[in-house]
Structure 1
């Protein structure tokens, strides 16, 4: 009688590759996590801003077993979305808006979830037991799991860094009740480098491996619901949805290659869209333009807030009409951002003339503050 030495992970890896995943690794989930203490410190310091869902789900988020006690193993998968060109080149195009690389194609949540469900169904039929799939939409910390499974390590910018894919991996996780052999954990290879920390335009890293989301451009342009702190607005530049600076400067990107997934490739109309064109979007046009994009989650008003901040940072008087047209917008958030943009672009006499025409009739307190601020500057 011969004993089989086949690795039960190998068929899963092959099936994952067939589905388009670039990496598939495994880890057990019984051990304690340093990530638990880091999460608690992050929340206690208030660095999550108004992402109240993080605090509300902290107990379940603290460890995979708190989310699903029956789980025994995690299959951690990565999909490369590396850009073909340096995304920071777009910062020089100040009359155009810059979207984070991940948001220039189809919504990665939908792309990955469909494939994870296919892989999960295949695993259930082969291995039995129960499983659950996760793509950044449940209280599960994917990045610590990915490091534990050996996909990469959490760099000083707190994002995952891979020796093969740099900072450009989408992560998906399958928790399963099956016992699967773990892969070795990845070590930290950041060394003395601090390129990501120095690149942040709003100084969002109080220390290596620590992020204050309240200063992060990605948080401010996506998660934050109200007006952005005026002191942070210049740091947004022309970034209108997310920020790639800390990712793009990582030296490990030199080993990465452009992602091959066509659905995640940059759409022509989202590569560097004109700010004036975006500022004119109404609700219907916004929904149509971003129907398949993760941008749709932010909503039109918050997105136009970002567009108008970018207009204010453009130093381009030709964009004044685009901002002026939004002074009568139905959204106070948009109106307030338009006031700020015009305060940056217009000569004072013209600005005061606009204030006389609009400020007195304004009823929203936040917008009134914007008018008072530009008039007293």
Structure 2
């Protein structure tokens, strides 16, 4: 059983591994009021269609129960969750700051790169999953050493059947803001989360105090969302979110949403950029995910001109690689249509006459928009 001293030790080991914040939360007992409430809310969100086409969120067991609704369905032995967070804030402009009309926007978390190991010294893409997971593994190894190999553990960075943000709140890492992001009073919301699910039980004196909600009456994130994806405080319709539309959604997009997407090429930071808590958010002191400045307000013409090998050279190992070039080109065509710049018409006309039906459709819309 984990005592207060163990909790303090775990938080210290997480920070030594390179995390900026860490906390521990107990897993609600199966069929307890808290577990039932969390399960019901998630099931209602899925049933309302707000997960869009993200089928991995809808995975269920043989009884038809959502795996992410109650952690015990996937891991019956789970007793506590260690939540770790890394600050990825960079000293760069925000998406809401003035920028050339010919520039697009890539979400801040996807700017990251790493030095090439070959003689070219080119910066290669890096993915936060691959950066955070080894840090979690380091903490996991120390847990095994301290508490014994019989301690069950699982490490996840966005990939496990667990609702990380709820555990982050209960662990005291931050509160869930009205934009549905975890917000820490000192660090803001530029946080990437990783979790270690364990069979270690928390003693009463080791329980964390849930983070206090400090959003108050502010609704800037809700008011600023161009597509009205934030349907209520702390409730997002992901199927309308620009991040979902540009990253997860395959194929054609709802034409009614296209004019609202602006020049977002990959992801969206608007609801975080307008958050007052991020005005004072510190730049990462020792960035685990250093920004590549070329990806800040990148020129749409430059992105559009990348052939397959060039795209791979720039984005191999980065979040954009998973979205793939075809979908990114679709997003670029939409951004060009929303730019108001007629210089993009030759490129759009070329795409509209091409063999890629989805890209041709987006380009045709952009041509109409510019005309």
For the aligned pair, the TM-score class normalised by the smaller chain equals: 0.7 to 0.9
Q: How does 1:119-268 map to 2 (within 5 A)?
A: 119-128=139-148, 129-180=151-202, 181-268=206-293
Partner of 1:14: 12
CA distance in 2, matches of 1:248, 1:211: 17
CA distance in 1, matches of 2:195, 2:170: 12
Deviations 1:37-85 (A, max 9, x none): 2211111111111122222246210122222111111111010112323
Which secondary structure state, in structure 1, belongs to the residue aligned with residue 178 of structure 2?
coil
- Tell me, yes or no, if the aligned pair for 1:91 and 1:238 is still in contact at 8 Å: no
Superposition TM-score, scaled by structure 2 size: 0.88
Q: How does 1:343-358 map to 2 (within 5 A)?
A: 343-346=368-371
Check if 1:80 corresponds to 2:87. Answer: yes
Partner of 1:365: none
- Relative distance call for 1:6 and 1:92 in structure 2 (3 A) is closer
Partner of 1:46: 49
Which of the residues 334, 346, 350 maps onto 1:309? 334
Greater C-alpha Rg: 1
**Aligned-residue offset at 1:123:** 1.2
Check if 1:26 corresponds to 2:11. Answer: no
Which secondary structure state, in structure 1, belongs to the residue aligned with residue 352 of structure 2?
coil
Number of equivalenced pairs: 342
Superposition TM-score, scaled by structure 1 size: 0.86
**Aligned-residue offset at 1:89:** 4.1
- Tell me, yes or no, if the aligned pair for 2:99 and 2:297 is still in contact at 8 Å: no
Instruction: Report the more deviating stretch, 172-181 or 69-78.
Output: 172-181
User: Any gaps of 5 or more consecutive residues in structure 2?
Assistant: 113-125
Partner of 1:114: 134
CA distance in 2, matches of 1:333, 1:149: 44
**Aligned-residue offset at 1:114:** 1.2
**Aligned-residue offset at 1:273:** 1.5
- Tell me, yes or no, if the aligned pair for 1:163 and 1:255 is still in contact at 8 Å: no
CA distance in 2, matches of 1:85, 1:121: 35
- Tell me, yes or no, if the aligned pair for 1:167 and 1:248 is still in contact at 8 Å: no
Greater share of helix: 1
User: Any gaps of 5 or more consecutive residues in structure 1?
Assistant: 347-377
Structure with the larger RCO, 1 or 2 (CA within 8 Å, 6+ apart): 2
Runs (4+) of structure 1 moved beyond 4 Å? none
Partner of 1:357: none
- Tell me, yes or no, if the aligned pair for 1:86 and 1:248 is still in contact at 8 Å: no
- Relative distance call for 1:282 and 1:331 in structure 2 (3 A) is farther
CA distance in 2, matches of 1:188, 1:279: 42
Task: Tell me the C-alpha RMSD between the 2 structures.
Answer: 1.8
Deviations 1:234-273 (A, max 9, x none): 1111111111111111111233201234341221221121
Deviations 1:255-311 (A, max 9, x none): 320123434122122112111121122332222211121111111111110001000
Partner of 2:78: 71
